[in-house]
């Protein structure tokens, strides 16, 4: 199963772009990269996912390198409400036929004024 490596913590100034890196050097060709975040005392929240191409939605952008061994989640204008733990997850196929999400420890992003 592909594993992910993320820095344990990052800081960002409010209004600036937050760039959260993730390494997944053992990802296989049919595995997707997902990003979730978890604000304190809440359940995780889906942000975005991608396979090969860069993706953008109303919350964030996902940049995946050409060799797919790493990716970056970009929050273009971070706000205080973006302070959370961000999880980079590679979807793991299971024998049951359904893919599940395996969470690591994630990156604690602290956005400050």
Q: Could you say whether residue 94 binds another protein (CB under 8 A)?
A: yes
Sole window of 16-24, 56-64, 74-82, 87-95 interacting with another protein (rule: CB under 8 A): 87-95
Consecutive H or E run containing 71: strand 70-75
Residue from the set 58, 67, 81, 98 that interacts with another protein by CB under 8 A: 98
Nearest approach, Cβ of residue 56 and another protein (Å): 16
For 81, the 3-state DSSP assignment is helix
Of the two residues 24 and 91, which places its CB atom closer to another protein in the complex? Answer: 91
From CA 33, how far away is CA 26, in angstroms rounded? 12
> Among 17, 16, 11, 55, which residue's Cα sits nearest to residue 34?
55
Asked if residue 50 lies in contact with residue 101, where contact means CB atoms within 8 angstroms, the answer is no
Residue from the set 43, 58, 66, 67 that interacts with another protein by CB under 8 A: 43
Query: What residues line the site for another protein (CB under 8 A)?
Result: 32, 34, 41-46, 49, 85, 87, 91, 94, 96-106
């Amino acid at each position: 199963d592909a594993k992910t490596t993320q820095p344990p913590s990052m800081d960002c100034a409010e209004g600036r772009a937050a760039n959260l890196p993730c390494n997944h050097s053992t990802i296989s060709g049919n595995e997707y990269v997902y990003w979730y975040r978890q604000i304190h005392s809440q359940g995780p929240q889906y942000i975005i996912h991608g396979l090969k191409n860069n993706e953008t939605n109303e919350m964030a952008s996902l940049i995946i390198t050409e060799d797919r061994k790493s990716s970056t989640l970009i929050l273009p204008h971070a706000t205080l409400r973006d302070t959370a733990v961000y999880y980079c997850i590679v979807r793991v196929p299971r024998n049951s036929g359904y893919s599940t999400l395996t969470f690591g420890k994630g990156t604690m992003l602290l956005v400050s004024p």
